[in-house]
Amino acid sequence: MAAPTRQHAIRAETREESIDARVRRRLRELRSQRGLTLQQVAEQVSVDISTLSRIEAGKRRLALDHIPALAAALGVSADELLGSPSAQDPRVRARPRSHDGIRVWPLTRLAPAGAPRAFRIIIGQARRKPPKALPVHEGHDWLYVLSGKLRLLLGDQEFTIEPGETAEFSAWTPHWLGALDGPVELIMIVGAQGERLHLHR
């Protein structure tokens, strides 16, 4: 068998670098999709956060013995972390959940920490009485009414938002959403704090 030539060695090294680059890209993508911080993944893999940061940035070579632990921390197999990602089904099929007279369907997948998400919401006609203290949270709320008449309390003011109308407001203003004459269907975009406050309690 002929001895490896320098050209063969360069090609092998290029392939190896390509795999390394792909794993680093997959590592960033998967961590972002799952809303995980560098600190959270580093703790599960038992490496320093600075080490993980350098691996993601390509400033430190990825050791093979890191692969199984990284894959486990990200909830995938080692093959999935090493291989090219298959085409992702673009459809979002999250199950609805109900809370305090509201039924919610997520319209976006899990977003990076703090990023806003979109929801389809149906407010039942029985949701008519606001709490004594209206909730507040950081960020902005955006909504678009599809059907029904939405009752929006915003500070000391009250608004009726009808089908086809959009409302956007600072979430630092005390606010509450309810129904007027019957069920209300709307699309709403909220940040992480608004999601927890309005949709998860």
Can you give the residue ranges of every domain in the chain? 6-82, 97-199
CA 162 to chain centre: 29
Span 67-85, average pLDDT: 80
The CATH T-level fold of domain 97-199 is Jelly Rolls (2.60.120)
- Please tell me which of 19-23, 137-141, 160-164 the model is most confident about, judged by mean pLDDT: 160-164
Query: How do beta strands 117-123 and 184-190 pair?
Result: antiparallel
pLDDT at 25: 83
pLDDT at 7: 47
Q: What is the percent of the chain where pLDDT is above 70? A: 83
pLDDT at 16: 44
Single-letter code of the amino acid located at 184 = V
pLDDT at 199: 67
- Is 121 within 8 Å of 152 (Cβ atoms)? no
pLDDT at 111: 61
DSSP 66-128: GHHHHHHHHTS-HHHHHSPPPPPP----PPPEEETTEEEEE-S-PPSTT--EEEEEEE-TT--
**In 3-state terms, the chain is what percent helix, strand and coil (to 5)?**
35, 25, 40
**What distances in angstroms separate CA 140 from CA 96, 136, 144, one per listed residue?**
23, 10, 14
CATH number at 6-82? 1.10.260.40
**What distances in angstroms separate CA 180 from CA 122, 124, 142, 160, one per listed residue?**
13, 10, 19, 8
